[in-house]
Each structure stands twice: as structure tokens, then as C-alpha cells.
Structure 1
Amino acid sequence: MVSTARSPLSPPFRQDLLIAAAGLVGGLALWALGLFNNPRPPLGGGWVLLPLAVMALAEALRRTAPSAALVLGTVALAGDLVTLSLLATIVMFSDVVYAAVLYGGPRLSRAVPPASAALTAAVTVGTLAAVRDPQALLAGIVCGLVTVGPAWTGVIVRDHRNAAAAERLRAQQTALLAEMDRVQAVTAERARMARELHDVVANHLSAIAIHATAAQSLDDRAATGDALAVIRENSVHGLAEMRRLIGLLRTAGDHEEVSAAPTLDGLDTLLSHARRHGAAGGLGFTLRDERSGGPLPAPVELAAYRIVQEALTNALKHASPGEVAVVLESPGREDGGSGGGALTVTVTSPCDRRPGPRAPGSGAGLVGMRERAELLGGSFRAGPAGAAGGTRWEVRAVLPLGDAVHGAADGGDGARRGDGA
């Protein structure tokens, strides 16, 4: 249970002081009018005002110190019963019992209701044994109304308050989780957009940078004209790709125009563009496709295509003259594409010192390739590797082909994308 008890050193609540004052004034009015409950008490006269004052003090402490208030109230009630007895004192005691259950600690709130029931039973049996008259049951009924009724009312109200507090806490937690999901989804979408923009546009911008660098370093007017023509061509293609992506971002609803994702069948076209842009730098490009088995999952095809595309772009910018080799390997799968295994993508290029200026790079391409591989549960490595013809730069990605790929593409992709954002 949630306890609403406060420290005994805390000041009383203003409402409790008003309740205590009202009870005290009401008791004084009953005393002045001579309205008493016990016409033949052991103690008469003004002694009845002492329990009234103690009970008023207990009322003032009903929420600040419920345990102390209950003890004072019980003592005051016992004193009231041996004097003339005022109704105001009894009514205030019932409120003290109610407040002890509602505002007291868990142990007190659990102990008061059964104790009240036991007290009522004891009063009833004791009165019957003393007077041997059925009318003695009225004493038990009055005791129950003063103790059991307020106690169980406090239990009901406390349970409702605890349930409401639990619901508010659950609502806050739900809202917090929803906000975390929203932030994670936005972060993952931004990371995906960054990868797509880099992979789609960077190839054209790299070609522009390479040929602009060549145009600046060449004195041949014809060669400069050819470089400017390539720059214009890639600028037009890059702008077209940018407009297409911006259009996709701005279009919403059922009429959203989504372009087909590239597949490995387009690698020949990709390499032909690379050959045309790399010829001036002495680069040659080869493709060795050693795949076997059925078709690959769409997420694997897209990731492999983008990794090859970025690796070729990096080779155009940084590789020294020589051959750039693209190798695709995958084992045969008996179930036609739903089984295990992995697609291995390897792109190697010469990394000896390259003559002349190079196009600048930011390193975002390597981050994007690593993210694409890890999203599918695969691995990625990029770095120099020894070879017979000299040191070569090797990009190697292993992309699983099992059922986990579909889970990553459907549900786990968005959750894991944010890791590299």
C-alpha cells in the first residue's frame, strides 16, 4: 500500500486544525446546553471537557501523526465514557479512526479494522454479561458504528486511492515508453535516410570531385572538356536522385511513390559506370559472381548492392592504378532461399600510394556499410590485406541468409538502426 503518513515533526494540516476547532466548539456548545450522553457518570461536572480537549488535539494530528492521534483519541474516549460524555467527542473519535486507516502506515491501516471488530465484539459480550439484557446489544451497535464503520470506510477509500495512484503511475510509464519508442523510431529513420542519401548521391559527387580535381591539374583543353562533361552528367544524375528522395520524403498517404530497391542484378551497370569514371585513373573493374542456390532475401540484396556501391566509390576516390575486384559468394541452399548460410561480399582494390590529388572523404561510407551488415546480424571488415601483387584494400561483408534476416527487416531493423546513428 502507498502510505500517506507524514513525519510527526511536520506541522498539522490547516484542514485538520479547522476540524479540531469545529469539534471543540461543538462540544462546548453541547456542554453549555447540558446535552450529555451519560446522565449518571462516575465523574461529573467539568471533567467532561478534558476528554473533549484531548480529542480535539487528536483531530489536529489526524494526518500528521495518525498513530499518536489514535492513541490520544482512545484515551480521550475512555475518559469521556467515565464522565458526562459528549456526542462531539465520540464523533471526533470516529473520524480519528477513519484517518488512522486512511493516512497511517501499512501496518497501522491493516491492524485497525480487525482491532475495531474485536473491540466491538468484546463490548457486546461484556455488556450482555454485565446487564443480562438484550438491550445491551445497542452498546455493541454503537461501538461498531464508532469504530468498525469508520475503519472499513477508510480501508475502501485507501484501496481506491492506491488503485488510482497505480493507474497514474502505469499511465506515466506507458507515456514514457511511447516517447522512448518515438525517439528511437525517429533516430532510426534519420540514420536510414542518412545511409540512403550517402549511398545514392555520394557516387555522383565522388565522380564530380575526381574529374574536377583532374580538370584543375590538366593543361589539355580537350581532356578538360571531357572532365567537365562528366561533371555535368553526374551533376544532372545527382540532382535527379536528390529530387527523387526529397519527393519520397514529402509524399505521404496511399499515393506514396516508392522506387524499386536495387538488386545484385544491377551490379553490371554499376561496374560499367565505375569503369567509365575510373579509366582516367588507370582503374579496371571485374566482377566474379560465385553465388549458388535460390534467390536471396530482399534485405540482403539491397545491403549487398549498397556495400558494393560504396566500396566502388571509395576505390574511385582513393585506389591507386590497378584492378578492383568484386567477388560474391554464397553456399547452395536446398530449400530455395529460406535456409541458413551467408552471402559474402568482397571488394579489393590496390592501395599503394596514388599519384596526384585525391578526392576528400569523411568516413561516413564505412560507417554506413558496417551498419548495413550489422542490421542483418552479419559482420563487416575493411582494411589493408596482403596479396601476391602487393598490399590491397579489402572490404569484406558477411550477410546471413537465414530466418533472422526477415525478422531484422520486419521488426528488429528499426530498433537496431539507432545504434550507429
Structure 2
Amino acid sequence: MPLRLPARPDRDAVLIAATGLAGGLVLWFLGLHNSPPLAALPGWLSLVALGIMCGAELLRRSAPLTALAVGTLTLALDLCTGSLVATIAMYTDVVYAAVLYGRPSVARRIPRIAEVLSVLGTLLAVAVLRKPEALLIGFGFGVLIAAPAWTGASVRRHRDAARAARLEAERTALLAEMDRREAVVAERARMARELHDMVAGHLSAIAIHSTAALSIGEPRASEEALTVIRENSVQGLAEMRRLIGLLRQESGAEEPAAAPRLDGVDALLAHARKAVRDDRFRFTLDDARGLVPLPAPIELAAYRIVQESLTNAVKHAAPGPVTVRLAREGRGRLAVEVSSAFGDGPGPRAPGSGAGLVGMGERVALLDGEFEAGPAAGPDGKQWQVRAVLPVREEESP
């Protein structure tokens, strides 16, 4: 494994080391030592200890534990040669930096170790000197190692708490932005479904009757087609204005417009009869819902499913019966079925976008229901069947 060199010292480390070196040199030349040497060692070794401690200071950020180990050995040398205040001051900073920048597991142990060493140093001094002044040695140990260690631990806790709070604030802001985007996407999808379901039927009738008016040379038939076109244009415009009014409505300004309910399915069938202009189509309703009222979201979803299914029948179905069935199934669920004749024709009577089935599936999924659409066998031959089952919870019933 290749040896990793320490990173380049930062500006603070260089400034502390330079200041400590300058101060130590001044104290040495003036002969201002803290105490006489503890061993018969030459005095110039205190300058060696000062230089080594300055080197340890340069590692305070990049390799704090290495700096602590080197600084501890250097402090022992300094005490044996007559210590300098500058060397001791830099050592306290090395202890502080080891707790602040060291690995979390080691940084948690350093204050405890400093406490133990302070107590042992006090007991040893009292046992050797047997004087009350020996307590001052224990106090010196506490100031030298325990105080900077606990100061570093306190600063580290505050720093970690601030970092955690900042990350939590960023996470909260990110989640809020994601919720906002999801809300915008959901609202746009809801607007697209409402716009498609309200206007597509009217526009399909306009397309079918305008084609008839252009292709039939009979004045009376053209007049009837233009009448239907005008009716659907007026109704479509009214629906558009209602939707725009809902979008422009300010929160709390007034009560929202009443949502369509299944009682209006007869009007949808009457509108489909006018739109198709073919006597071979037979639109019938089989309503077996019962007398128990349904929640408004269920009524709205069922109404829109019937509306879009009839619009698709007008555009694509072969001549024959178009049946709408509403029934209550097990556990109070509402079943909505719309079936129409299915055959291979020359093409749709009006263009479609394919968004109708997607919108119906989305409505059912929002209510945790079941939806399927496709060809099916019927009593009169092959059929196209749309079936949705919407769950009705008792607590939501009006």
C-alpha cells in the first residue's frame, strides 16, 4: 500500500506555527523558561522541541492524530529541558485540533483520556511532593490537556449539529420542491382529463356533422347538421368557460360549481343520439345503483367514464346497441360498464388523440379501483367494452 503524504497545511496552521516559533525564540534568547530542566540536558534542546512542535502544528488539520502523538513526545522533551510557554501553548492547540478534526471514534476518547491523565498526574505529584502545592500540578495538567480537549469536543458537537441542521433544511427544501412539482403535474393531469372529457364529445359531434353537411347535398339535412353543430359549439363553449372560471377562481372567493353526477347520464345518452345521426344506433341505460347515495368523487369519476365511453362510441363504434350499465356489486362497489358494437370500419367518424382511455384509467387508479377496456364477446356479436369498478367506502358516503 503506497504511503499517503499529509495534505498541504492550511493558512491557520502556518500562522499558528510561525507565531509560536517567533515567540519561542524570543523567550529562549531572553532566558525566560518556565522551570529548570528536569534532567541534565543541554538547554538548546528546548529549541529542538520548539521546532518539532511547530511541525506538529502544521499537521493539526491534515493529520491531527499524528500531530497529537508527535506533540506529546515533544512536550515531554520540552519539560525535561526547561519548558517554553510557546511550546506548551502550541501543544494545547494540538490537543484541541485532534478532538475537533480527528476521527469521531478517537475524538470521543481523547477528553476521557485527558481527564484520567490529569487525575493520575495530580495523585502522582501529591504522592511525590507531599505538599499542598502539588495540587497546582494537577491543575496545570487539567489546563494543559483536559481543558482544550473538552473545548474541542464542545465546538465539534456544535459544528456537527449545525451541519445536520443544514442538511435537514436542504432535505426539507428538496422534498418541498418535489412535492410542489408532483402537485403541479397532478393538477395538470387533472385539468387535462377535465378538459378532454368536457369538450371532446362536443367537438366530435361538430366534426361528424360538419362532415355530413359537406358531403350531403340535401338542404334539410345540411340545416339539421348545422343546428347540431351550433348546439354543440354553444355547449362546448359554456363548458370551456366554466372550466376557465374554476381555474381563475380564488381560494375562498365563492363556492365551487357543482360537479356532474350520475343523474345526468340520461342527458349524455340524448346528446350521443343527436351526435351520431344514424338510426341503427340504439342507446340504452341500465341503472341498478339503488337508492343509497354515492360519494361525490365516485359520482364524478363514473360520470366522466360514461361520458368519454359514449364519445368513443360516437366516433368509433359500429352501428348497433350502445348500453350503459350502472350497478352495485359486492361490498358496495359501483360497477360502470359501457358496451358498443365492434367492427372493422373504414375509419373513425371523427379524429381521436387516444387520451380518453388514459384519462379513464387515471381516474379509476386515483380511487383505487379496477379498469379494463377492450374487445369482448356479446349477445349481438363482438363488442367493445369499457368496465370500471369503483370502491365505495361507507365513511365517505353522504
Query: What secondary structure sits across from 2:375 in the alignment?
Result: strand
SS at 2:24 equivalent: helix
Which residue does the alignment assign to 1:341?
Answer: 332
Cα 1:222/1:259, change in 2 over 3 Å: same
Corresponding residue number in structure 2 for 1:156: 154
Deviation at 1:331, TM superposition (A): 4.5
Deviations 1:102-139 (A, max 9, x none): 11001221221121112112221222222221111111
Q: Is 2:316–2:348's contact at 8 Å kept on the other side of the alignment? A: no
Partners of 1:219 and 1:353 in 2: how far apart?
27
**CA displacement, residues 181-224 of structure 1 (integer Å, 9 cap, x when unaligned):** 11111111111111000111111001011112222322223212
* Alignment partner, residue 103 of structure 1: 101
After superposition, what is the alpha-carbon deviation per residue over 1:287-344, rounded to whole angstroms, capped at 9, x for unaligned?
1111224111111111111111111111111112112111111149xxxxxxx32111
C-alpha contact 2:100 2:155 (8 A) present in aligned 1: yes
Q: Say whether the 8 Å CA contact 1:116–1:147 is kept in structure 2.
A: yes
Report the Cα offset of residue 94 of structure 1.
Answer: 0.6
Show the counterpart of 2:6: 9
Q: Is the 8 A contact 2:333 2:390 kept in 1?
A: yes
Match of 2:16 in 1: 19
Instruction: Supply the distance in 1 between the matched residues of 2:287 and 2:49 (Cα, whole angstroms).
Output: 100
Percent identity of paired positions between Structure 1 and Structure 2: 58
- What is the CA–CA distance in structure 1 between the aligned matches of 2:6 and 2:45, rounded to whole Å? 30
CA distance in 1, matches of 2:191, 2:26: 80
Find the aligned partners of 1:81 and 1:51 in 2 and give their Cα distance.
9
Out of 37, 61, 76, the position equivalent to 1:78 is 76
1:31 aligns with 2:28: yes
Of 342, 348, 351, 1:351 maps to 342
Amino acid at match of 2:247: L
- Which one of the candidate residues 374, 383, 406 is aligned to 2:365? 374
Aligned to 2:384: 393
Q: Aligned ranges for residues 187-226 of structure 1 at < 5 Å?
A: 187-226=185-224
Question: TM (normalized to structure 1)?
Answer: 0.89
Q: Take 2:45 and 2:255, find their aligned partners in 1: how far apart are those partners?
A: 92
Structure 2 residue 139 is matched with structure 1 residue 117: no
**In structure 2, do the counterparts of structure 1 residues 15 and 404 end up closer, same or farther at CA, with 3 Å as the change threshold?**
farther
Whole-Å separation in 1 of the counterparts to 2:5 and 2:395 = 60
Instruction: State the Cα distance separating 1:46 from its structure 2 match.
Output: 1.4
Matched letter for residue 257 of structure 2: S
Identify the residue that residue 264 of structure 2 maps to in structure 1. Answer: 266
Q: In terms of mean alpha carbon deviation, does 282-291 or 299-308 score higher?
A: 282-291
Q: Select 1:62's aligned residue among 60, 63, 76.
A: 60
Alpha-carbon spacing, 1:355–1:118, altered in 2? closer, same or farther (3 Å): closer
| Aligned partner of residue 277 in structure 2, secondary structure | helix
What is the aligned length? 393
For the aligned residue pairs, the C-alpha RMSD in angstroms reads 1.8
Tell me: CA distance 1:176–1:40, structure 2 relative to 1, closer, same or farther (3 Å): closer
The answer to whether the 8 A contact 2:6-2:59 is kept is: no
Q: Give the C-alpha shift of residue 403 in structure 1.
A: 4.8
Equivalent in 385, 393, 398 of residue 402 of structure 1: 393
Q: Does 1:311 align with 2:309?
A: yes
| 1:388 Cα deviation after fit | 2.6
Which residue identity does 2:304 align to in structure 1?
Answer: R
Q: Quick one: which of 132, 135, 150 aligns to 1:134?
A: 132
Q: Which residue of 2 aligns with 1:336?
A: none
How many Å separate the matches in 2 of 1:81 and 1:10? 30
Offset of 1:273 from its aligned partner? 1.4
For 2:344 and 2:78, the matched residues in 1 are separated by 104
CA apart distance, 1:161: 0.8
For structure 1, the 5+ residue unaligned runs are 1-6, 333-339, 407-421
For the residue of structure 1 that corresponds to 2:133, the secondary structure is helix
What secondary structure sits across from 1:144 in the alignment? helix
CA distance 1:295–1:377, shift in 2 (3 Å): same
SS class of match (1:358) = coil
Is 2:129 aligned against 1:144?
no
Match of 1:361 among 349, 352, 356: 352
The answer on whether the counterparts of 2:329 and 2:335 sit within 8 Å (CA) in structure 1 is no
Aligned-residue offset at 1:281: 6.1
